[in-house]
Structure 1
């Protein structure tokens, strides 16, 4: 009998100690913004933006020069949420079903979400913002591990409600139930306040939390509170050509772009600022003012969340990660007017979007735009803040990827990633934990295998200093760049190093086969989607 009591006491002691240990695990705030260019915030060269909260996170945390996404919304979110390459997670193209497992348009169940794994490890799980990885009810956040959810389901949303509750312009859901955004209310503010409300609710759980804060800003439509827009009046009179170079100089000075490397070659399709008429310059200044206001409001929102963490006495034990889902959006001047516009750009009835002109500045010093495998499409700002462990005011080369975030967070959370769920085999994680890199003097990820991309027939491979790029519209003719010497991707050296090209192409074919990637020409033949 005495032995039984001793065993019970030991079990209770072990359970209590385990609970105490869990309580000491860090909280996690994962912040994703939408269509933000590499230098569209002050810590990455965009000092024309007022982003004091991100600046403070950067000064007290670590930034990467090289951190990669999947070039476009839904595939990026699929990888971020599962730690899998997008095709392996079922979203190799977008949130549309093309009839193949790698292109089914929603997250498969062999790929566990961050919320599912962290919930199983004893975390409270929260989402506030954009989802875009499954449209049907059984694919929504609450059905994929999030205990508290406020979100819109698709890829874009107005920032203001201009219809009534019976036919909302902004279809929102709170814990699976329809939610009406009050007229005059700005969606970024609602996303923020819902997140804060959930954090206060979560206090009663007595558990660490995981908050996925997925802003839709600064994705189109370009809409922002007028008081924010007016803060930037006159800031952009210098135009995109001068500001693009200034951003490059700032990025070099701050260390997020290597010294001695040139800026990417100017996009010849973008008209010179000085050749615009006075009225054209006024119009384009207004558009960039609105974009800056959207980013400004996100930064204010981050400040509100940080203030809440401090009030809850959780700020000192919370990891904050900030990144963008892809580079700034390109496009031509034909897209500046749409049939949906009923008001001046920035106001609730407007429906404008970014074009290549300002987006080339947004992605400076990198090449190209969103939905493209050049660095401007897949290179994101990346900030990690956790003063207890992450080095302060440090810039590392990094060379991280979305696939690394899940193993990093599971490392911090002491969360076991399963190989099976019942009889269902779970996809293994291809990424690497960044934890050691973040708290030591290591400068970049040491990974034995390359990084890969495929989206709508556009392909890329990054292995060491080499990057192979091939574009569908150009017949997938290989281009080769030495990123260590030429991150602006100005000098294609494929003809000089045919053996490197051949090696990377062979590695890509093997990866594509393992991940269910198919020839995009076949998808185009069998699909209405482009």
Structure 2
């Protein structure tokens, strides 16, 4: 009898310790938006109404320098696995170019956040855009997510478009491996937020912490928004892109996200607002009104998630991280693909329009270039981290951080063990650095090696204040002092040949470690994914003045 009592007591203690561990593990919500520029939300200087993100920033931390991979699929590969995109199998896009680093879907050697956190006792939930593998063997439920609602590919309509197009295909979605369609009258941004809230409600029945990944496709084209949201911005953009950009830059400086003496790049292909006719101004105003409405609606969904957290009494033990997958889109990509034709007004279900380069220059205010580029405007993202009582309120830190740093951050805070093997497969080690001390104590990041990028021939290295960058097809290294010239206006390559040589050696070593291939040897033909990278000198990628 004594032995039975002892055994029962031991089992009870084990259960209590396990339950205590689970209550101490933070819930984690990761929110990523699509094709949104660095300054497109209130906490980063925007005039667009984002009260819920404003709250998260006021109660949390903002980073000055957080980096992505410049375009959708490679960014999501790094975000979900903590690997550089080539190492995860998506060095180019979600198309198979015939080599492991370019296979177009996540490989088994790179574990997802869901796979690792599930092993640590988490419920794993996802709502939104996947875009890291089209085949059903690579869908979210097959890569560790308990619950999934969203779409698999790279873009989607926000409304059922049948009213505008005869025999139009439905908006195809997936819910836990089951194909479904977006119902008439529904708006996809609302559905993504709504399913996230639903998953939280259902998960509350368990005794587990949760990881929720909310991957909005807003404000990615096509420009489609709810009429009530568009009406909120009617007339707001009559000021034009020149004045609006200057206002955002001034707010960024006042906030402390941009130095008072920051260098500001100029895009010579953006025409002066006052050079436009009255009709042209009205046309362009409408685009930005819809774009703002799409961001506004996304923020409303974040508000619903925050309200559900509070209702479930889980808001005090939840870390929220908000980022964007790349900078705003400039020239229409790919350059050689026929542009979709709108069958309805801008903002409606039949719209296939997007804001284009002149407004994207505002979205990336103070930064050079756009989506798909390795300049700051292509790879910079806002980052807001919120963790009540743990992260100092209304704080701003430099960074310099990257997507690959989020996985080790989450694993450290969750007490999750990152394995060397998983289902008899040797797992790639994590190259990133945990941001836990940066988030919780604002300690500087002690990075083991510089950050590097390659995507479709566009390359970069970031080491300390220095950034080495080259644009395809010129392939000539440029050197910038980012601490004093984040606008990348003063190329110092000629003055600092030793720095260029050192960082070039860093890049070559990184490229070899990550199986990067010279883009000219791997470049796809036709329209496989995006046929060509964004290039500042590619005239036919620019449609700034065309309707």
TM-score by length of 1: 0.96
**Pair 1:126–1:332, CA change in 2 (3 A):** closer
Structure 2 residue runs of 5 or longer lacking an equivalent are: 532-547
For 1:52 and 1:196, locate their aligned partners in 2 and report how far apart those are by CA, in whole Å.
19
- Which residue of structure 2 lines up, in the alignment, with residue 363 of structure 1? 364
Alignment partner, residue 324 of structure 1: 324
- Does residue 51 (structure 1) correspond to residue 19 (structure 2)? The answer is no
Residues 256-267 of structure 1: matches in 2 within 5 Å? 256-263=257-264, 265-267=265-267
Say yes or no: does 1:345 pair with 2:354: no
- Residue in 1 that maps onto 2:452: 452
Q: Which stretch has the larger CA shift, 172-181 or 32-41?
A: 172-181
> Is the 2:67–2:381 contact (alpha carbons within 8 Å) kept by the matching residues of 1?
yes
| Structure-to-structure mapping, 1:141-156, within 5 angstroms | 141-156=140-155
- Contact 1:460/1:469, CA 8 A, preserved across alignment: yes
Q: Does the aligned pair in 2 maintain the 1:33–1:215 contact within 8 Å? A: yes
Does the alignment pair 1:34 with 2:34? yes
Structure 1 residue 435 corresponds to structure 2 residue 443: no
Alignment match, 2:114: 115
Contact kept in structure 1, 2:161 and 2:168, CA below 8 Å: no
1-structure distance, mates of 2:340, 2:180 = 27
Aligned partner of 2:268 in structure 1 is 268
Structure 2 match to 1:517: 516
Give the CA deviation at 1:99: 0.4
Partner of 1:80: 79
Counterparts in 2 of 1:354 and 1:169: CA distance versus 1, 3 Å: farther
Counterpart-to-counterpart distance in 1, 2:524 and 2:185: 45
Aligned counterparts of 2:279 and 2:505: Cα–Cα separation in 1? 52
Q: How far off its partner does 1:315 sit?
A: 1.0
CA deviation vs aligned residue, 1:76-116 (integer Å, no higher than 9, x gap): 00000000000000000000000000000000010000000
How far is the alpha carbon of 1:210 from its aligned partner?
0.6
Deviations 1:494-525 (A, max 9, x none): 00100000000011111101101000010127
- 8 A Cα contact 1:328 1:363, kept in partner: yes
Cα offset, 1:206, TM superposition? 1.6
Report the counterpart of residue 157 of structure 1 in structure 2. 156
- Corresponding residue for residue 215 of structure 1: 216
Change (3 A) 1:528 1:188: closer
Say whether the 8 Å CA contact 1:73–1:326 is kept in structure 2.
yes
Per the normalisation by structure 2, the TM-score is 0.93
**How far, CA to CA, are the matches of 2:340 and 2:328 in structure 1?**
23
Structure 1 residue aligned with 2:425: 424
Q: What residue ranges of structure 1 are gaps of 5+ in the alignment?
A: none
Could you tell me how far 1:8 is from its partner in structure 2?
5.2
Distance 2:384 2:523 in 1: 37
Does the 8 Å CA contact 2:327/2:381 hold for their aligned counterparts?
Answer: yes
Q: Aligned-pair distance for 1:330?
A: 0.3
1:245 aligns with 2:246: yes
**Cα separation, 2, equivalents of 1:363 and 1:204:** 42
Verify the 8 A CA contact 1:338 1:352 in the aligned structure 2: no
Match of 2:545 in 1: none
Q: Is the 8 A contact 1:158 1:169 kept in 2?
A: no
Q: Give the CA deviation at 1:6.
A: 2.8
Instruction: Indicate conservation of the 8 Å contact 1:229/1:290, yes or no.
Output: yes
Aligned CA distance change for structure 1 residues 131 and 441 (closer, same or farther; 3 Å): closer
Instruction: Indicate the larger mover: 416-425 or 218-227.
Output: 416-425
Over 3 Å counting, the alpha-carbon distance change for 1:439 and 1:252 in structure 2 is same
CA distance in 2, matches of 1:449, 1:398: 15
Contact 1:98–1:527 at 8 Å: present in 2 too? Answer: no
CA-CA distance at 1:528 after TM superposition: 6.0
Q: 1:189 to 1:418 in 2, by over 3 A?
A: same
| CA distance in structure 1 between the aligned counterparts of 2:526 and 2:423, rounded to whole angstroms | 35
Matched with 2:88 is 89
DSSP 3-state at the match of 1:110: coil
User: How far 1:455 sits from its partner (Å)?
Assistant: 0.4
Q: Would you say 1:12 and 2:12 are equivalent positions?
A: yes
Is residue 70 of structure 1 aligned with residue 69 of structure 2? Answer: yes
1:415 aligns with 2:421: no
Question: How far off its partner does 1:42 sit?
Answer: 0.8
- Measured after TM superposition, the shift of residue 440 of structure 1 is 1.3
SS at the partner of 1:204? Answer: coil
For 1:431-510, what aligned pairs fall within 5 Å after superposition?
A: 431-442=432-443, 444-474=444-474, 476-510=475-509
Are the counterparts in 2 of residues 29 and 210 from structure 1 also a CA contact under 8 Å?
A: yes
**Distance in 1 of aligned mates of 2:88 and 2:213:** 19
Q: Is the 8 A contact 1:33 1:214 kept in 2?
A: yes
Q: Structure 1, residues 230-249: CA drift from partner, whole Å, max 9, x if none?
A: 11111111111111111111
Identify the residue that residue 133 of structure 1 maps to in structure 2.
132
Could you tell me how far apart the structure 2 residues matched to 1:490 and 1:157 are?
36
- Find the counterpart in structure 2 of residue 404 from structure 1: 405
For residue 309 of structure 2, give the secondary structure of its aligned residue in structure 1.
Answer: helix
State the distance in 1 between where 2:142 and 2:169 align: 23
Q: Which residue of 2 aligns with 1:390?
A: 391
Q: Mark the CA change 1:514 to 1:389 in structure 2 (over 3 Å): closer, same or farther.
A: same
Q: Counterpart of 2:193?
A: 192
